[in-house]
């Protein structure tokens, strides 16, 4: 009887905690860092960012958060899949 593939939850947690992705405005007046989840780690604003209207600033921040969060999620997916394959539980790899 074959047992289903399993991953060590602690390894997956460590991977997620190690990932942090950044997204910034072109002039770097707004810089956002996120982890998978998504978890916003930091939002840095410099004086140029405060020259924007509140609605535009909010929209830009949200767009950057979405971008950084998507990058973090994709990196997390890629690393967990790699771990899955290294453990011999992935498709086409030793079982």
CATH of the domain at 75: 3.30.1310.10
Share in percent of the chain as helix, strand, coil (round to 5): 50, 20, 35
CA distance 65 to 32: 6
Model pTM score: 0.79
Residue 95 lies in a domain: no
Domain that holds residue 23: 15-86
Residue 94 lies in a domain: no
Alpha carbon 76 to chain centroid distance? 6
15-67 tens-digit pLDDT? 999 999 999 999 999 999 999 988 999 999 999 999 999 999 999 999 999 99
66-75 tens-digit pLDDT? 999 999 999 9
* Beta-strand pair 30-35/39-45: antiparallel
Total number of domains constituting the chain: 1
Angle at 39 between CA 65 and CA 16, to 5 degrees: 120
């Amino acid at each position: 009887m074959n047992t289903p593939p399993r991953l060590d939850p602690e390894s997956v947690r460590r991977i997620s905690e190690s990932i942090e992705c950044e997204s910034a405005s072109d002039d770097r007046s707004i810089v956002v860092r996120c982890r998978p989840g998504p978890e916003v780690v930091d939002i840095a604003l410099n004086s140029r960012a405060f020259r924007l209207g509140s609605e535009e600033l909010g929209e830009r921040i949200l767009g950057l958060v979405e971008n950084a969060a998507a990058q973090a999620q994709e990196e997390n997916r890629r690393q967990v899949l790699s771990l899955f394959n290294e453990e011999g539980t992935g498709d086409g790899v030793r079982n």
